[in-house]
C-alpha cells in the first residue's frame, strides 16, 4: 500500500479512531505517513521551486503577492531558510532587491503579481538593470488553461518584463518550474549581475509532482570575461606617452581592491581617476583611493574633460549627456581624445586594472590614500555645504549611503570623501523613487552596518511605503529627508533651456507645496520615529541621536526659504 493511500484510509476513518483506546499509536501512524507523503512523494511545483532556490543560496524574498501567487507564498512559508519581506508597493520590492544585490553580489528573489504588479515595479528594475544588479523576479501568472478566457488581470507579462530584464523565462510544466527558477539564478549571477525574470503559472505551482523530479544541482556562476593582452598593452602604451590621460571608472572598478590598482596606475603615470556621474556602488572614504566625479551637467562635464588626450575606460562605457540640449554635444569625451575601452562593464575590472598596473611596472601601492578629516561647522541655516559637513563628520565606519539627495545632496558626497570608509549607492538609471527602497535592501543585506538614506522630498513620495517596511523589519536606517518643497532640479533645467521667468501654471508643475508635505507625520504614520530640524546645530544633534538609535529614524531637514509655503 502506498503512503498516500494509507493516509487517505486513515483520514477517512479518523472519527472512529479518535474514540478508540488506541488513539496514540494511530496518531503516530498518521503523523509519520503525513511526513512520508509530504517529503518523499507529494511536493507541488511551488515547493520544488522554493526548495531548489534555497538549496542554491537564495535566502530573501521581497514580495507583494496576489491571488495567483498563494501557492508560492505557502511554499516560502514552509522554507525556513528563506526570509520573506513585504513591500506595500512593487517599486519598493524591486528597489529593495536592487540594494540587496549591490551589497552582496548575489540575487534576492522578488514575488510580483501578474503583469500589472510587475509593471508597478519596473521603474526600479530599470535602475537595477543600469546598475547591473543581480535580481530574480518571480512573476505569478494565471493557470495555463485560464488564460484563454481573458480575465481582468490577464496581460502580456513577457511584454512587461523584457525591457527591464536581461532574460525572461516561462515555466513549461509543473516539473520544470524549479529548473526555470535555477536558470534565472544562473543568469542573475552573470558578472557583475543581471536582472532575470521568470513566469510561474498558478497551475504549475499547485500541481503535485514526484519529489524525484526536483533538480538536485545548483546554479553555476559564470566566470567573467577577461581583457585581452593586446588591449592591456595598448592602454599601457597610451599612458606611457606622457600626454594628459583619464582613467574613467565605473561598475566593479569602484570596489576597494580595484581602486587600489587604479591608485597604483596613478602613482606611476599621474593619470586622473574620474568616475561615472552615478555609480552602482562606490567604496570610498578614509584609507581608500580618492577619485574625481564626472559632473552631471553636460557643459561642466565637458569642461572637466577638456584637454584630455587619452581616455581609458574600465567598467563603464563612454559618458554621454543625460539629456539632449540645442546646439550642445551628446558625447562628453573631447573629439580629439583617443578613447580606449580597456574593460567594458561585463569584463573583470579588477583583473584588467591589476594587469595594466603590472604592465606599467607600477609601484606596489598607491602614492596616496585618503585621510580622515573632521570639518568645522558654521552654525545657522542649513545649506548644501554645512549639511555635507555634518554627514561626513557623523558617518560611522562601514556605513552604507543610499543617495537620492538630488540637488542638495552634492555637498554630502563631496565632503564624505574624507569620512570613515563607507559604501555609496546612487541613482543609476535616473528613475526617481529608488533611494528609500535601495536602503531597505542594503539594510537587509548588511544588518550589522548602519544605512543612511540621503533623500529628496519629491523622489521620496514615489516610494514612501518603504518607511513602513523599515519599521516592520526594524531595519537600522537613518533617513535624511531634504525638504525644499520642490522638484528643484527641474527649476534649474527650466532656466537652462531659456525659460527664466515661467508662468504660474508652469511653476505649479514643479512645486510641492500647497499643501506642504509633513514628513514627520508621514514617517510616524508608517511607524518610524522622526523629527524636524531647521539649523545646522539641530541637524548635527539629530544625526548623533539617530545614528545611536537602533532601527529606522527620519530627520526632516527644512532647507532655508522653505519653512512655509
pLDDT above 60 (res 332): yes
Task: Give CA angle at 82 (116, 251), nearest 5°.
Answer: 70
For residue 255, give every residue at least 6 positions away whose Cβ sits within 8 Å of its Cβ, in sequence order, or none. Answer: 281, 283, 349, 350
Q: How far is CA 183 from CA 76, 84, 109, 171, 403, in A?
A: 19, 21, 13, 11, 32
Stretch 234-241: mean pLDDT = 96
Stretch 87-96: mean pLDDT = 98
* Predicted local distance difference test score (pLDDT) of residue 21: 47
Q: How far is CA 76 from CA 72, 479, 538, in A?
A: 6, 30, 45
Stretch 256-276: mean pLDDT = 98
Stretch 28-35: mean pLDDT = 48
pLDDT in tens, 190-225: 999 999 999 999 999 999 998 776 776 666 788 999
pLDDT in tens, 284-299: 999 999 999 999 888 9
Whether residues 351 and 463 share a domain: the answer is: no
In order, the DSSP letters of 319-351 are -B-SS--TT--SB-S-TTSEEEEEE-TTB-HHH
* Predicted local distance difference test score (pLDDT) of residue 40: 46
For residue 70, give every residue at least 6 positions away whose Cβ sits within 8 Å of its Cβ, in sequence order, or none. Answer: none
Q: Is residue 28 part of a domain?
A: yes
Q: What is the mean pLDDT of the chain?
A: 90
Print burial letters for 352-381: b (CB count within 10 Å at least 16), e (below 16). Answer: bbbbbbebbebeeebeeebeeeebeeeeee
Whether residues 324 and 408 share a domain: the answer is: no
Residue 422 grid cell: 563607507
* Predicted local distance difference test score (pLDDT) of residue 352: 98
Stretch 380-397: mean pLDDT = 96
Stretch 517-539: mean pLDDT = 97
pLDDT above 90 (res 520): yes
Q: How many CB atoms lie within 10 A of CB 241?
A: 12
Q: Is residue 497 part of a domain?
A: yes
Print burial letters for 434-464: b (CB count within 10 Å at least 16), e (below 16). Answer: bbbbbbbbbbbbbeebbbbbbbbbbbbebbb
Whether residues 61 and 198 share a domain: the answer is: yes
* Predicted local distance difference test score (pLDDT) of residue 344: 98
DSSP state at residue 549: S
Residues above pLDDT 90, as percent of the chain: 79
Q: How many CB atoms lie within 10 A of CB 303?
A: 11
* Predicted local distance difference test score (pLDDT) of residue 325: 81
pLDDT above 80 (res 328): yes
Whether residues 51 and 37 share a domain: the answer is: no
Whether residues 75 and 166 share a domain: the answer is: yes
Residue with the bigger pLDDT between 322 and 51: it is 51
Verify cis geometry, omega within 30 degrees of 0, for the bond prior to 355. no
**Predicted TM-score of the model (pTM):** 0.90
Whether residues 25 and 51 share a domain: the answer is: no
Stretch 71-91: mean pLDDT = 98
Confidence of residue 2 (pLDDT cuts 50, 70, 90): very low
Stretch 529-551: mean pLDDT = 97
pLDDT in tens, 107-158: 999 999 999 999 999 999 999 999 999 999 999 999 999 999 999 999 999 9
Residue pointed to by grid coordinates 537613518 = 478
Of 359, 376, 393, which residue constitutes the final position of a domain?
359
Residue 523 falls in which region: left (phi positive, over 0), alpha (psi -120 to 50) or beta: alpha
How big is the chain, counted in residues?
A: 565
Stretch 150-171: mean pLDDT = 97
* Predicted local distance difference test score (pLDDT) of residue 366: 97
Q: Residue 318 belongs to what domain range?
A: 229-359
Verify cis geometry, omega within 30 degrees of 0, for the bond prior to 536. no
Q: Is residue 425 part of a domain?
A: yes
Residue 100 grid cell: 540587496
Answer whether 551's CB lies under 8 Å from 475's CB: yes
Residues above pLDDT 70, as percent of the chain: 87
Confidence of residue 18 (pLDDT cuts 50, 70, 90): very low
Residue 176 grid cell: 520544470
Whichever domain contains 304, its CATH number is 3.40.50.1220
Whether residues 240 and 178 share a domain: the answer is: no
Whether residues 55 and 196 share a domain: the answer is: yes
Cα–Cα distance between 16 and 10 in angstroms, integer? 10
pLDDT above 90 (res 407): no
* Predicted local distance difference test score (pLDDT) of residue 13: 55
Whether residues 209 and 348 share a domain: the answer is: no
DSSP state at residue 107: P
Whether residues 94 and 28 share a domain: the answer is: no
Whether residues 91 and 237 share a domain: the answer is: no
Q: Is residue 369 part of a domain?
A: no
Which residues on neighbouring strands pair with residue 86, listed in sequence order? 63
* Predicted local distance difference test score (pLDDT) of residue 338: 96
Stretch 402-427: mean pLDDT = 93
Q: Is residue 312 part of a domain?
A: yes
Confidence of residue 90 (pLDDT cuts 50, 70, 90): very high
pLDDT above 90 (res 301): yes
Whichever domain contains 540, its CATH number is 3.40.50.970
Q: Is residue 376 part of a domain?
A: no
CA 322, distance to chain mean position in Å, is: 20
pLDDT above 90 (res 436): yes
Weakest mean pLDDT among 227-231, 300-304, 325-329: 325-329
Count of domains for the chain: 4
Residue 483 grid cell: 525638504
Q: Is residue 371 part of a domain?
A: no
pLDDT above 80 (res 508): no
For residue 359, give every residue at least 6 positions away whose Cβ sits within 8 Å of its Cβ, in sequence order, or none. Answer: 232, 233, 236
pLDDT in tens, 49-70: 999 999 999 999 999 999 999 9
pLDDT above 90 (res 5): no
Confidence of residue 490 (pLDDT cuts 50, 70, 90): low
* Predicted local distance difference test score (pLDDT) of residue 222: 83
Of 186, 213, 240, which residue constitutes the final position of a domain?
213
Q: How far is CA 73 from CA 31, 77, 161, 535, in A?
A: 24, 6, 21, 47
Stretch 86-90: mean pLDDT = 98
* Predicted local distance difference test score (pLDDT) of residue 27: 45
pLDDT in tens, 337-369: 999 999 999 999 999 999 999 999 999 999 999
Of 180, 213, 246, which residue constitutes the final position of a domain?
213
Confidence of residue 38 (pLDDT cuts 50, 70, 90): very low
Whether residues 498 and 479 share a domain: the answer is: yes
For residue 108, give every residue at least 6 positions away whose Cβ sits within 8 Å of its Cβ, in sequence order, or none. Answer: 58, 60, 61, 62, 96, 97, 100, 101, 135, 136, 441, 444
Q: Is residue 498 part of a domain?
A: yes
Amino acid at each position: 500500500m502506498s503512503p498516500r493511500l494509507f493516509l487517505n484510509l486513515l483520514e477517512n476513518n479518523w472519527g472512529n479512531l479518535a474514540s478508540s483506546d488506541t488513539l496514540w499509536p494511530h496518531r503516530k501512524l498518521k503523523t509519520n505517513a503525513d511526513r512520508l507523503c509530504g517529503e518523499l512523494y507529494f511536493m507541488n511545483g511551488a515547493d520544488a521551486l522554493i526548495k531548489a532556490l534555497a538549496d542554491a543560496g537564495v535566502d530573501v524574498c521581497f514580495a507583494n503577492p496576489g491571488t495567483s501567487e498563494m501557492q508560492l507564498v505557502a511554499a516560502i512559508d514552509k522554507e525556513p531558510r528563506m526570509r520573506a519581506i513585504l513591500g506595500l508597493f512593487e517599486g519598493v520590492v524591486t528597489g529593495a532587491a536592487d540594494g540587496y544585490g549591490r551589497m552582496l553580489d548575489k540575487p534576492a528573489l522578488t514575488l510580483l503579481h501578474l503583469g500589472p504588479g510587475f509593471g508597478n515595479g519596473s521603474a526600479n528594475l530599470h535602475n537595477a538593470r543600469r546598475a547591473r544588479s543581480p535580481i530574480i523576479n518571480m512573476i505569478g501568472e494565471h493557470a495555463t488553461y485560464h488564460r484563454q478566457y481573458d480575465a481582468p488581470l490577464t496581460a502580456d507579462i513577457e511584454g512587461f518584463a523584457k525591457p527591464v530584464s536581461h532574460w525572461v523565462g516561462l515555466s513549461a510544466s509543473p516539473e520544470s518550474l524549479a529548473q526555470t527558477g535555477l536558470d534565472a539564478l544562473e543568469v542573475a549571477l552573470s558578472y557583475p549581475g543581471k536582472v532575470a525574470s521568470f513566469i510561474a503559472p498558478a497551475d504549475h505551482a499547485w500541481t503535485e509532482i514526484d519529489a524525484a523530479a526536483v533538480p538536485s544541482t545548483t546554479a553555476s556562476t559564470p566566470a567573467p570575461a577577461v581583457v585581452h593582452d593586446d588591449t592591456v598593452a595598448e592602454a599601457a602604451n597610451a599612458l606611457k606617452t606622457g600626454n594628459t590621460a583619464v582613467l574613467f571608472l565605473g561598475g566593479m572598478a569602484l570596489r576597494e581592491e580595484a581602486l587600489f590598482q587604479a591608485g597604483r596606475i596613478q602613482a606611476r603615470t599621474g593619470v586622473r581617476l574620474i568616475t561615472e556621474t552615478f555609480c552602482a556602488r562606490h567604496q570610498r572614504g578614509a584609507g581608500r583611493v580618492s577619485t574625481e566625479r564626472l559632473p552631471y551637467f553636460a557643459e561642466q562635464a565637458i569642461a572637466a574633460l577638456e584637454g584630455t588626450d587619452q581616455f581609458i575606460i574600465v567598467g563603464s562605457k563612454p559618458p554621454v549627456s543625460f539629456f539632449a540640449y540645442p546646439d550642445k554635444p551628446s558625447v562628453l569625451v573631447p573629439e580629439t581624445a583617443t578613447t580606449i575601452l580597456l574593460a567594458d562593464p561585463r569584463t573583470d575590472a579588477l583583473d584588467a586594472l591589476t594587469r595594466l598596473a603590472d604592465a606599467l611596472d607600477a609601484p606596489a601601492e598607491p602614492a596616496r590614500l585618503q585621510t580622515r578629516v573632521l570639518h568645522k561647522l558654521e552654525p545657522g541655516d542649513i545649506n548644501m555645504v554645512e549639511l555635507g559637513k555634518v554627514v561626513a563628520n557623523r558617518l560611522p565606519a562601514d556605513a552604507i549611503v543610499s543617495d537620492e539627495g538630488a540637488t542638495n545632496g552634492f555637498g554630502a558626497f563631496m565632503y564624505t570623501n574624507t569620512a570613515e570608509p563607507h559604501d555609496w549607492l546612487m541613482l543609476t538609471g535616473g528613475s526617481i523613487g529608488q533611494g528609500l527602497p535601495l536602503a531597505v535592501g542594503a539594510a537587509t543585506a548588511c544588518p550589522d552596518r548602519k544605512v543612511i538614506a540621503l533623500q529628496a522630498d519629491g523622489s521620496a513620495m514615489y516610494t514612501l511605503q518603504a518607511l513602513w517596511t523599515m519599521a516592520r523589519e526594524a531595519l537600522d536606517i537613518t533617513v535624511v529627508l531634504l525638504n525644499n518643497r520642490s522638484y528643484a532640479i527641474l527649476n534649474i533645467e527650466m532656466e537652462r533651456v531659456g525659460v527664466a521667468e515661467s508662468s504660474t501654471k508652469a511653476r505649479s508643475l514643479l512645486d510641492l507645496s500647497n499643501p506642504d508635505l509633513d514628513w514627520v507625520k508621514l514617517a510616524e504614520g508608517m511607524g518610524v520615529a522622526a523629527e524636524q530640524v531647521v539649523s545646522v546645530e539641530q541637524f548635527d544633534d539629530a544625526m548623533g541621536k539617530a545614528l545611536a538609535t537602533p532601527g529606522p529614524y527620519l530627520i526632516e531637514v527644512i532647507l532655508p526659504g522653505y519653512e512655509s509655503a
